[in-house]
């Protein structure tokens, strides 16, 4: 189902029309149509949101983590992570999480009619920059040697599940 949203700029019409060129005024009132995408082969979102949305010729992915699709009722398995009964790390392999998150992004891109080479912007969230950045940067270079989208890397305190990395991406269609 399409979401139709009307965007109306709240400017005084006489002020706006006298000082802004006509080609700019055209965009003051427009409709934005956005299609929700759910990728059957990707891990389920951990909240009420789609995997992606198409807007014009752009594709906006929701945050994508390394969880394994089909691993349980809520896709809770995380590659490279084993927890004890108290939720403490028994084993941790950040490289496995990196590779899994890239695979999940690719699955969502392809299910949405885009591809890895169409990525134009990647924002990565790491829960431990000091520990994980060098590994992330090395693996990123493997996956993005041909396509080099813009990138921002941010350290955050936590993610909603015990994952160490999440990507937020924009691609063209």
What distance in Å separates the CA atoms of residue 136 and residue 155, rounded to the nearest whole number? 12
> For residue 163, with 0-12 CB atoms within 10 Å meaning exposed, 13-18 middle and 19 or more buried, which class applies?
buried
Q: Within the chain, which residue ranges are assigned CATH 3.30.1330.40?
A: 38-172
pTM, rounded to two decimals: 0.81
pLDDT computed for residue 14 by the predictor:
43
Choose the CATH number for 38-172 among 3.40.50.720, 3.40.50.800, 3.30.1330.40, 3.10.150.10. Answer: 3.30.1330.40
Element at 55 (helix H, strand E): strand 52-55
The per-residue pLDDT for range 71-129, each reduced to its tens digit, is 888 888 999 999 999 989 999 999 999 999 999 999 999 999 999 999 999 999 999 99
- How many alpha carbons lie under 13 Å from residue 32 in its C-beta half-sphere? 13
What count of other Cβ atoms lies within 10 Å of the Cβ of residue 104?
A: 23
With both helix axes pointing from N to C terminus, report the angle between 94-111 and 129-143 in degrees, rounded to the nearest 10: 50
Give the chain's mean pLDDT.
Answer: 86
Q: How distant, in Å, are the alpha carbons of 1, 48, 119, 130, 149 from that of 112? A: 15, 18, 12, 34, 18
């Amino acid at each position: 189902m399409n979401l139709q949203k009307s965007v109306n700029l709240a400017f005084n019409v006489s002020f706006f029309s006298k000082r802004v060129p006509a080609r700019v005024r055209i965009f003051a009132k427009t409709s934005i149509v956005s299609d929700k995408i759910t990728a059957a082969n990707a891990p389920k979102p951990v909240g009420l949101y789609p995997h992606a949305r198409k807007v014009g010729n752009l594709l906006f992915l929701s945050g994508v983590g390394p969880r394994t699709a089909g691993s349980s009722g809520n896709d809770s398995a995380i590659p490279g992570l084993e927890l004890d009964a108290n939720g403490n790390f028994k084993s941790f392999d950040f490289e496995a999480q990196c590779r899994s998150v890239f695979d999940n992004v690719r699955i969502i891109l392809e299910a949405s009619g885009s591809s890895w080479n169409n990525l134009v912007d990647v924002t990565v969230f790491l829960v431990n920059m000091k520990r994980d950045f060098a590994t992330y940067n090395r693996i990123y270079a493997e996956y993005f040697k041909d396509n080099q989208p813009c990138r921002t890397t941010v350290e955050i305190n936590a993610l909603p599940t015990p994952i160490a990395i999440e990507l937020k991406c924009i691609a063209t269609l």
